Structure 1
Amino acid sequence: MQWLNELLFGTGVGHSILLVAVTIALGIWLGKVKIFGVSLGVTFVLFVGIILGHFGMHLNHDVQHFFKEFGLILFVYSVGMQVGPGFFSSLRKGGLMLNMLAVGVVSLGVVTSIVLHFVTGLPMSTMVGILSGAVTNTPGLGAAEQTLHDLTGASDPTITLGYAVAYPLGVVGIITSMLIIRAIFRINMDREKEVLDHLEQEDETQAMALSLVVKNPAVFSKTLGEVHQLLKKHDYVISRTMDSRTNNISPAHSDTVLHEDDRIFVITNPQNAPMIINFIGTEVQMDRKQWIPNETNLISRRFIVTKSELNGRKLGSLQLRKLHGMNVTRVNRAGVEMVASASLPLQVGDRITVVGSEVGMQKVEELIGNSVKRLNEPNLIAIFVGIGLGILLGSIPIILPGIPQPVKLGLAGGPLVVAILLSRFGYRYKLVTYTTPSANLMLREVGIAIFLACVGIGAGDGFVDTIVNKGGFTWVGYGILITLLPLLIIGFTARKGCKVNFLTLMGLMAGSMTDPPALAYATNTGNHDSSAVGYATVYPLTMFLRVLTAQLLILFFCS
């Protein structure tokens, strides 16, 4: 039975892998248990690892180091791939204000940590761990550990201990701050929903359909191509036309001639709609079904772009209207409906709405792929090219004034930045970065579970001693301050000064802490998509800043 003893209590690779597997399995199972409606999810793997480490279970040092770093890389890279497409767009328009408020939450948390460091004399490495736990940000923990190791050549277990002590009440503190803001302003949830529903009807970016009657003499006897030259600065697509003399409906072509009282079916957005209506004539109310009468062979279908060679190509270059008489009216990307302008670059995974004949539909399908099976195949080249570039970027020393040691993005920051950039701009270099949501989630959860298991087992040795003999209970108090103060200050400012809708504000508060359990609470409480939208709007920038500030605190105070 020597082999079994070695497997269970030895130091070999097999023992290490088995221990990690058991830790992850137990942690995820126990993490499903809800306490007051909140569960810790995969984060409970950390606490199972701490318990096993406390009772003498250890990992092979080399295996632990590799697993921890590789798990962290998988996690942050998949997070970057998820948030990247919306990272830059989230900085525009209303998203700019939400992101500035989230930056305020991050900044106040860092300032609070620095003040506590000087007041209490607690080492900054420990304080960064408490900060990461208080804001429930695991990548920040990983970035701090890796930066400290690069800087000093040694590890500090109190980083992980501080994180583990502060994390549970960090989740509770985020939800508590939402309840406090709601009570202070006496929020009526139904009223907040009504306001949001009204604003959604005035959205300036979503695609909308118009039925117009040609009344402007300036466009009489002009072709659609000539009309387009006059309106080319505006985003719109003319899908179908109805001849006023015969009432026949036809797909729109550039050589289609407009006559008085002809009707046209237009896809545009609210921002451009008034100009187009005034230029063409008047708007008329028509059901969409009236534009596809039963006696014609005009049909509408939605296809998925799955051919990698189309990645990055502009929609107009396909010449679907000229070659096949087909009109693309909308492009749905990650749930967002966009006007199908000729200059729009396609990406693998886009869903396009096409209007035309049955024969033409077959041609379109052949051209763009429309193969869900192909879409489900993982694009491993993009993943590993991105990870390689991320490690390269993270290893480049950056010299900043006032910092004695060069700054590095590290194994956490480098892959995160590259993933954001590739997911947004990779199509320009013919790199297919699309992954299905389930594949991305699998990659992310495997990475974070491995990382937390290794971190927990490594920190388990001194956890109880820290709590009992080294002031661990006071760390909980510090974590509560770091959680509550920034959220309450910014939450009050957002509601009172910026008039942010409370449902959106809950998403902002959860996103500024990168905390999925808090988002789940906000979504269930508000029963509206706006909380998720607010979360997604601030999450990318917040995640980046959490990783960066954790590293900067280590570099400034631990050199």
Structure 2
Amino acid sequence: MDLLNGIFTQSPEIAIFLSLAGGYWLGKIQFGKFQLGGVAGSLLVAVLISQFGVHVDSGVKALLFALFIYAVGFESGPQFFRSLGKQSLKEILLAAVLALSALLTVIVIAKVFVFDKGLAAGIAAGGLTQSAIIGTASAAIEKLGLSSSEVQQLQSNVAVGYAVTYIFGSFGAILVCVNFLPWFMRRSIRDDALAAEAAMLKGRRIYAVGESSALPDLVGRIFLIKGAAGQTLAQLEAMGQFTVARIKRNDQIIGNSAELVLQVGDKVLVVGRRADVVQCEARIGDELAAESGMEMLVQTRNIEITAAELINKTISEILDKQQNIKHGVYVLALSRQGIEIDHSPDTIILRGDIITLYGLKEDIERVSSFAGTTLLPSDKTDFVYHGCGLALGLLLGLAVVKIGSIPLTLGAGGGALLSGLLFGWYRSRHSTIGNMPSGASTLLRDLGLAGFVVVVGLQSGQQAVTTVLEQGLSIFFAGVLVTIIPLIITLLFGRYVLKYDNVSVFAGALSGSRSANPAFGEVLDKSGNSIPTTSFAITYALANVFLTLLGPLIVAFA
């Protein structure tokens, strides 16, 4: 015991990484169909390790959470701002119902268990994992007209109630949002997230790392000229969506100008749409398995459209007026503000659209020099951009607005989320700046959230266990009720009144309405994509206001 205490005193970061390792190992264990997950597992292991005495600076917790919530906002910025409007009414109502049901639950429990105003506010702060309630409740207690000793006692009870109930406040939200909700709706978070993603992509397939189609749309083949002898290269290419990339005549590579007349025995490398290329054998001549010197490299490149000649014109208009654009290149995708859209002939091109082209290097360079800027793939993170984004978010979190005597603030988390949304949206419109590879974003999300939860467990675990042993289980049990009852009421309201039918979206909204960041992290992990983020971001922002306002209301009515 003394040895471990000494180690953790000298190096508390050891406790953090042990909690992460043990928590993710524990989170992989399945109990029937139930699985804790890495975040909940890390919280439990951190509480256990906290009993050996660990001091972790609160700045570490703030930093880790800011990294997590900024990365979440950055990934979801474009989709979030598109979703604002009448369609956000469901999320607004959901957050309001949770706050109201939480207030009523705390008031009833305080009367049943005969808790004073301080304990009631502390249980609300911990059971709802809304630390801001501590500040608003403590400020309200000072205005009750009590003696200084009574005020001090009530404010001390706020801290006690918070410490005892905060652990289950985090853990219980995970149980409801990640485990109970899918069981209740009889569907999995992952399946519904994939279904929502497929609907958003309108049938387009996104391949995971290491996956590819067995029947690619674009292929290359080598043919021996027979039936096409006597035709010019331009006439041959007019037969379908393919390009002659290389020609070999008499064992020599020759130039492939549009006026070149093909001869019997020429060997041509054809690149293009598979449906057209596979028909070339009947039109051109026999296909060859291989031919020395005919190998060529093709590229897939993203180009941000900036050319004034292309802006606000349909694709068909562009191709009619700019014949040199289409030769040798093939459009794989067109995206706008981070979302892939249809690229039919009637699609209007806007500034900042990103077009994904496939073709030979020289052809792509020809198009990009005219159309816009080539976005080269990079595994480097733009720390200038994201450093400014995080700094701005934390600065926004310092701002305080007072409604009467009640101070309202976004806090570090709310500020980082708002900044991430804004910087993600701006990046979607200016793709040459703000690069963050998906691997870097995943690391920020996973390490930020799990590390934040671990620090919470290490800081609060020892005091929570000690208080429970000294004062009995009544405070802890009351916290369990404050955590579970509002979530269940809100869940039923969302399912039967608001008609949420997608479990992934619903889980994101429900965890956000409780500002339950650990639960949202598990929802995001189960989803495997960013589908639940938009609903979470809306309810989370509202919850930071609604739940913060509960502090003085609890002091007034409990």
Please give the range of the TM-score, normalised by the shorter of the 2 chains.
0.5 to 0.7
Give the corresponding residue for 1:489: 493
| 2:12 matches 1:16 | yes
Aligned partner of 2:275 among 289, 295, 312: 289
Shift of 1:510: 4.7
Residues 511, 542 of structure 1: 8 Å contact kept = yes
Aligned runs of 1:507-546 on 2, under 5 Å?
507-513=505-511, 515=519, 519=523, 535-546=532-543
Quick check: 1:433 aligned with 2:456? Answer: no
Residue 516 of structure 1 and its aligned partner are, at CA, apart by 5.3
CA distance in 2, matches of 1:490, 1:356: 49
Structure 1 residues 176 and 23: CA distance shift in structure 2, 3 A: closer
Letter in 1 for 2:105: L
Match of 2:25 in 1: 29
What amino acid does structure 2 have at the position aligned with 1:41? G
Identity of aligned residues (%): 17
Does the 8 Å CA contact 1:130/1:479 hold for their aligned counterparts?
A: yes
More strand by share: 2
The alpha carbon displacement at 1:35 in A equals 3.0
Output the amino acid matched with 1:492: Y
Deviation at 1:413, TM superposition (A): 1.1
Aligned residue identity for 1:398: V
Distance 1:7 1:513, change over 3 A: closer
Q: In 2, distance between residues paired with 1:148 and 1:407?
A: 12
Q: Is the 8 A contact 2:393 2:418 kept in 1?
A: yes
Q: Does 1:128 align with 2:122?
A: no
In 2: Cα distance, 1:376 partner to 1:390 partner = 24
The 8 Å contact of residues 386 and 419 in structure 1, kept in 2 or not, is answered as yes
The residue aligned with 2:325 is 325
Q: From the CA coordinates, give the structure whose radius of gyration is larger.
A: 2
1:41 maps to which residue?
38
* SS class of match (2:349): coil
SS at match of 1:434: coil
- CA drift at 1:331: 1.4
Which residue of 68, 80, 97 corresponds with 2:73?
Answer: 80
Q: Which amino acid in structure 1 is aligned with residue 325 of structure 2?
A: G
Q: Which moved more, 1:533-542 or 1:438-447?
A: 533-542
Q: Offset at 1:389?
A: 0.8
How many Å apart are 1:491 and its aligned residue?
Answer: 0.3
* One-letter amino acid of the counterpart of residue 397, structure 2: G
- Conserved in 2, the CA contact under 8 Å of 1:511 and 1:534? no
Indicate how the Cα distance of structure 1 residues 79 and 150 shifts in structure 2: closer, same or farther if over 3 A, else same: farther
Contact (CA 8 Å) 1:491, 1:505: kept in 2 or not? no
Residue of structure 2 in register with 1:371 after alignment: 376
CA distance in 2, matches of 1:84, 1:445: 19
**What's the counterpart of residue 354 of structure 1?**
357
CA 1:150–1:417 in 2, change beyond 3 Å: closer, same or farther? farther
> CA separation of 1:522/1:440 partners in 2, compared to 1, >3 Å: closer, same or farther?
closer
User: Compared with structure 1, are the counterparts of its residues 551 and 114 closer, same or farther at alpha carbon in structure 2 (3 Å cutoff)?
Assistant: same
Partner of 2:63: 70
Once residues 162 and 390 of structure 2 are traced to their aligned partners in structure 1, the CA distance between those partners, rounded to angstroms, is: 26
Counterpart for residue 151 of structure 2:
none
Q: Report the CA distance between 1:464 and its aligned residue.
A: 2.4
- Residues 541 and 289 of structure 1, relative CA distance in 2, 3 Å threshold: same
- Asked if structure 2 preserves the Cα contact closer than 8 Å seen for 1:314 and 1:342, the reply is no
Amino acid at match of 1:163: Y
How many residues in Structure 1 have an aligned counterpart in Structure 2? 435
Aligned to 1:51: 48
Distance 1:315 1:300 in 2: 30
What's the counterpart of residue 260 of structure 2?
none
> How many Å separate the matches in 2 of 1:290 and 1:146?
69
Aligned CA distance change for structure 1 residues 172 and 148 (closer, same or farther; 3 Å): same
Structure 1 residue 38: Cα displacement: 2.3
Greater shift in the superposed pair: 312-321 or 165-174: 312-321
Q: Which moved more, 1:421-430 or 1:142-151?
A: 142-151
Q: Using the TM superposition, give the Cα deviation of residue 119 of structure 1 relative to its aligned residue in structure 2, in angstroms.
A: 1.8
394, 397, 421: which one pairs with 1:394?
397
The aligned counterpart of 2:209 is none
Shift of residue 91, structure 1, vs aligned partner? 3.1
Task: Give CA-to-partner distance per residue, 1:324-382, whole Å, 9 cap, x none.
Answer: 42377531465633446331414xxx5x333777742243467744533xx21111112
The CA deviation at 1:6 is 8.4
Distance 2:28 2:443 in 1: 17
Instruction: Tell me the SS of whatever aligns to 1:540.
Output: helix
Q: Tell me which residue corresponds to 1:226.
A: none
**Equivalent in 100, 107, 111 of residue 111 of structure 1:** 100
| Match of residue 443 from structure 1 | 444
> 2:20 corresponds to which letter in structure 1?
I
Superimposed CA distance per residue, residues 425-454 of structure 1 (whole angstroms, 9 cap, x where no aligned partner)? 246678723322221111122222332222
Return the letter of the residue paired with 2:275: K
Aligned residue number for residue 464 of structure 2: 463
Measured at CA, do residues 109 and 290 of structure 1 come closer, stay the same or move farther in structure 2, by a change above 3 Å? same
Give per-residue Cα distances to partners, 1:199-219, cap 9 Å, x unaligned. 978x897899xxxxxxxxxxx
- 356 and 23 in structure 1: CA distance in 2 versus 1, 3 angstrom threshold: closer
Aligned to 1:418: 419
Cross-structure match for 1:383: 386
Distance 1:157 1:40, change over 3 A: farther
Q: Post-superposition shift, 1:323?
A: 8.8
Of residues 486-495 and 116-125 in structure 1, the stretch that sits farther from structure 2 once superposed is 116-125
Query: Could you say what secondary structure the match of 1:353 adopts?
Result: strand
The CA distance in 2 between the partners of 1:148 and 1:20, in whole Å, is 31
Provide the C-alpha distance between the structure 2 equivalents of 1:301 and 1:161, rounded to a whole number of angstroms: 61
**Per-residue displacement from partner, 1:151-205 (whole Å, max 9, x unpaired)?**
99999364353232244443333443444455xxxx9x9xx99xx89x978x897
Segment of structure 1 superposing worse, 123-132 or 314-323? 314-323
Q: Does the alignment pair 1:475 with 2:479?
A: yes
Q: Distance in 2 between matches of 1:23 and 1:522?
A: 21
Deviation at 1:76, TM superposition (A): 1.6
Deviation string, structure 1 residues 374-401 (Cα, Å, up to 9, x no partner): x21111112110111112212222233x
Q: 1:301 touches 1:354 (CA, 8 Å); kept in 2?
A: no
Contact 1:395 1:408 in 2 (8 A): yes
